[in-house]
Amino acid sequence: MSTLTAAAYRLGKLPARRDPRTLRLARYLDTAALPPAPDAWDEATGVGDWPMYANDRVGDCTCAAAGHMIEAWTHAGRGHTVAIAERDVLRAFDAVKLVDPTTGAEGAVELDVLNLWRKHGIGRHRILAYAKIDRADHELVRQASVVFGGAYIGLQLPLTAQRQSVWQWTGRLRGPARPGSWGGHAVDVVAYDDETLTVVTWGRLQRLTWEFWNRYCDEAYAVLSRDFLSHGRAPNGLDLDALLQDLALVSS
């Protein structure tokens, strides 16, 4: 991906909002009851196409990532991929977007997208709940990806990523390597191994190293969807009743 091509793509994730009501996954996922996360996991295999969802011309990455998660879930849970319509992604984005009054730039906050997705759905797909993942706990990130069928994450991309086929930390955090120097971007995790994670962005798969994750991932969420539930049952090790009860207490 050349610099010129990469720079032409839109981003659109606004800075992470810290809400004390956001539930934390570690409270509901009994890691002791789960086997260790596999060394490698891949939910992208078999999904033939990842739509752009207008993210080449609109800063709707936060909602495009939701569309890609629905694709991955339905393929894994139903055996066939359901791709929602671009108009549904754009309709969701229009409902949550914020516009910079000075520049006119449009973007959205991931928590706003998650709340819309839970309350109203995106393309008739509603999620049951979501919970924050401790980004520094790589084992929890792996387990959450396997148990929930991926993760909804935010990155503060550096300009250095524009020239990289695999997004890597260059060893610096200044200048073009500064977090957010390119902009904020929302993607979903669909695979990982010992060295890298794979996310969906701009209609394709993109690998990034765990070192890149450590420096540039600023938020991550496990998302519980009916599209991924096994015959309507919660994944093993998840206290779904407690999660839903706590969610009802803090939701407005």
Residue 12, both tokens: 């659109």
Query: Which band of pLDDT confidence, cut at 50, 70 and 90, is reported for residue 2?
Result: very low
Check residues 37 and 7 and name the one with the higher pLDDT: 37
Query: Which band of pLDDT confidence, cut at 50, 70 and 90, is reported for residue 88?
Result: very high
- For the CA atoms of 86, 90, 93, 94, the dihedral, rounded to the nearest 10 degrees, stands at -170
Do 38 and 146 meet the contact criterion of CB atoms below 8 Å apart? yes
Residue 231, both tokens: 């015959």
Query: Which band of pLDDT confidence, cut at 50, 70 and 90, is reported for residue 4?
Result: very low
Closest of 2, 10, 183 to residue 93, by C-alpha: 10
Evaluate if residue 25 carries a pLDDT over 50. Answer: yes
Q: What is the residue whose two structure tokens read 């914020």? A: 98
% of the chain at pLDDT higher than 90:
68
Q: Using CA atoms, how far apart are residues 130 and 117, in angstroms rounded to an integer?
A: 10
- Give the pLDDT confidence score for residue 252 in this predicted structure: 54
Evaluate if residue 117 carries a pLDDT over 70. Answer: yes
The mean of the pLDDT values for the chain is 90
Query: Which band of pLDDT confidence, cut at 50, 70 and 90, is reported for residue 232?
Result: low
Between the two ends of the chain, the Cα-to-Cα distance in Å is 43
Query: Which band of pLDDT confidence, cut at 50, 70 and 90, is reported for residue 240?
Result: confident
Helix (H) or strand (E) holding 99: strand 98-99
Amino acid letter for position 29:
L
Mean pLDDT, rounded, for 200-223: 97
Mean pLDDT, rounded, for 153-157: 98
- Give the pLDDT confidence score for residue 27 in this predicted structure: 85
Quickly list H helices, 97-239.
110-119, 138-148, 210-216
CA angle 1, 141, 170 (to 5 degrees): 40
Q: Where are the domains of the chain?
A: 3-154+218-250
pLDDT tens digits along 128-150: 999 999 999 999 999 999 989 99
**pTM for the whole structure:** 0.92
- Give the pLDDT confidence score for residue 230 in this predicted structure: 58
Closest of 212, 207, 183 to residue 197, by C-alpha: 207
- Give the pLDDT confidence score for residue 242 in this predicted structure: 81
Residue 195, both tokens: 């060295």
- Give the pLDDT confidence score for residue 229 in this predicted structure: 73
CA angle 129, 132, 137 (to 5 degrees): 135
